[in-house]
């Protein structure tokens, strides 16, 4: 996983897209599990297992690498793979592997090496990848306009929150209709692009501010 972040000298934290990072972490764990299962199907085709490094190297090459290793391990470099496996009673294992192992597994094992650990013939999720995913979905200011927008919007938010707290601006705390005068409704009517309501408080809309360009 390659993380490329554009930061300038006065960069400041804006926000972390936690929902997206949690999704990516969960997806990565699932892909590691699938890769591990596929690799176990692959290993089940051998009567005598080759060394782990040879197995992994062949697995990364896809079915051409797998078939080649099967031939080499059986000492029939030009032999028919299906015939070799039938002779060794492993053809059913081969068919199950063919059904399970697909191109996405080969792609993952080749291009997502930071997300897994391969040891003792098994794939496990690399916990260090969690920090990488979190950083990948953490956003920082990339120009001075964004910093100024945060500072200005924060002052506006502080003033609005104070006005709401002291009931200078009245709102419906328990709305009964879709058109009730809620904080969301009042803030939206103000037409200020870079503020929103979150957790009952008016706050700078960091996602919109992050899109500001000089």
**How much is the pLDDT for 214?**
85
Which of 100, 135, 170 represents a domain boundary (last residue)? Answer: 135
> Are residues 98 and 27 part of one domain?
yes
- Packing angle of the helix pair 18-43, 52-60 (nearest 10 deg): 120
- Asked whether the CA dihedral 184, 188, 190, 195 is positive or negative, the reply is positive
The answer to whether residue 47 sits within a structural domain is yes
Which helix (H) or strand (E) segment holds residue 64: the answer is helix 63-73
Three state DSSP letters for 73-99: HCCCCCCCHHHHHHHCCCHHHHHHHHH
The answer to whether residue 89 sits within a structural domain is yes
> Are residues 147 and 120 part of one domain?
no
The answer to whether residue 127 sits within a structural domain is yes
> Which residues of the chain fall below pLDDT 50?
none
| Segment 20-73, tens digit of pLDDT | 999 999 999 999 999 999 999 999 999 899 999 999 999 999 999 999 999 999
Q: How far apart are CA 69 and CA 139, in angstroms?
A: 45
Q: How far apart are CA 114 and CA 32, in angstroms?
A: 11
Q: How far apart are CA 158 and CA 180, in angstroms?
A: 23
**How much is the pLDDT for 180?**
64
**How much is the pLDDT for 7?**
64
> Are residues 89 and 129 part of one domain?
yes
**How much is the pLDDT for 173?**
74
The answer to whether residue 81 sits within a structural domain is yes
Q: What is the domain range of residue 180?
A: 139-209
The answer to whether residue 10 sits within a structural domain is no
């Amino acid at each position: 996983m390659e993380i490329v972040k554009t930061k300038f000298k006065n960069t400041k934290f804006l926000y972390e897209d936690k929902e997206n990072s949690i999704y990516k972490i969960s997806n990565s764990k699932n892909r590691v599990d699938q890769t591990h299962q596929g690799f176990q199907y692959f290993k089940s085709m051998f009567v005598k297992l080759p060394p782990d490094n040879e197995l992994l190297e062949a697995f990364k090459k896809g079915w051409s690498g797998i078939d080649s290793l099967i031939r080499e391990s059986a000492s029939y470099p030009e032999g028919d793979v299906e015939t070799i496996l039938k002779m060794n009673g492993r053809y059913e294992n081969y068919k199950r592997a063919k059904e399970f192992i697909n191109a996405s597994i080969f792609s993952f094992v080749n291009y997502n090496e930071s997300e897994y650990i391969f040891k003792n013939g098994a794939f496990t999720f690399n916990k260090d990848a969690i920090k990488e995913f979190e950083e990948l979905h953490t956003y920082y200011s990339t120009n001075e306009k964004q910093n100024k927008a945060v500072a200005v919007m924060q002052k506006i938010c502080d003033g609005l929150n104070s006005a709401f707290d002291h009931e200078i601006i009245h709102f419906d705390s328990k709305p009964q209709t879709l058109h009730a005068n809620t904080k969301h409704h009042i803030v939206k009517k103000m037409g200020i692009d870079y503020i929103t309501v979150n957790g009952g408080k008016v706050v700078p809309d960091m996602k919109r501010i992050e899109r500001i360009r000089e």
